[in-house]
Amino acid sequence: MTVGNGVFCDTHAHVFGPQAKYPYNPGRAYTPPDAPLEAWLALHAKLGVGRGVLVQPSVYGTDNRAILDAVALHPGRLRAVVAVDAAVADAELARLHAAGARGIRVNLADKGGNPFASPAELERTAARIAPLGWHVEVLAHVHGMGGWTDALARLPTDVVFGHYGYMPAALGADHPEFRAFLARLASGRWWVKLTAPYRLTARSTLPYDDVAPFARALAAARPDRLLWGSDWPHPYIRTNAQSPDDVAMFAQLADWLPDDALRRRILADNPARLYGF
């Protein structure tokens, strides 16, 4: 795939550490190694990516300092998706917006990642961030969201789902729950990130060809609501899988979605609209 011209956007990555400066949440599900901002930006130089979005990882809970400090170093090219709880003050939301935040993350899949006690709490908070133009980003297995599904559909904000909907590729893109997810995507304010195919695949190495049907189905449903992200530095790798080659994984997108205009929408136009670049 031809490298970008600076407007391609990596909408999903994390920075970690140093732990002495940015301590982890004691209730975290994992402990990542340090992953500094400079290493992520070096990857962008290889890929021709000029914009990025740092997403609050569950290991930091609602302490957003690590990602906000990183965004502050490159405010023109970086944005943040932060984590807050229902008690967050309006003044704090305004401060976060000025610091580059454009959404809040709710992690329903990992221990310690969901700061809301109920869907109703999230709905009330979403009503407060809607005037800022923010969205709600969700990490959830779309085939097992339970009572959260209808609440997410009612939110007055856009809703962004990570990792293709986070359903195991072995279940297939024709799975009834994934088809229901596609239907909601087609008719509502939902978005999907084409991120971390190695979390879904049954393969241990590239190519993750069993994820391709999900990418194509999503593109057929709402090409204007798709985003791409590296998921750098890949904080979760299955025990039988190899850490992915970022350049090869980026190139794989062109194999799955060969239309140049479609990929430009996913890599540049859509994220520019959502994150306000």
Catalytic residues: 231
Q: Are 174 and 185 in contact, with CB atoms under 8 Å apart?
A: no
Q: Give Rg (Cα) of the chain.
A: 17
Helix axes 246-256, 212-221, angle to 10 degrees: 50
Q: What residues are paired with 136 via a beta bridge?
A: 104, 159
206 CB-near residues (< 8 Å, 6+ apart): 244, 245, 248, 249, 252
> CB atoms < 10 A from the CB of 91, how many?
8
User: H or E segment at 46?
Assistant: helix 37-47
In the block, residue with structure tokens 């229902």:
86
Q: Are 97 and 119 in contact, with CB atoms under 8 Å apart?
A: no
Q: Are 111 and 137 in contact, with CB atoms under 8 Å apart?
A: no
Report how far residue 103's alpha carbon sits from residue 101's, in angstroms, rounded to the nearest whole number.
6
B/e letters for 217-226, b = 16+ CB within 10 Å, e = fewer, are bbbebbbebb
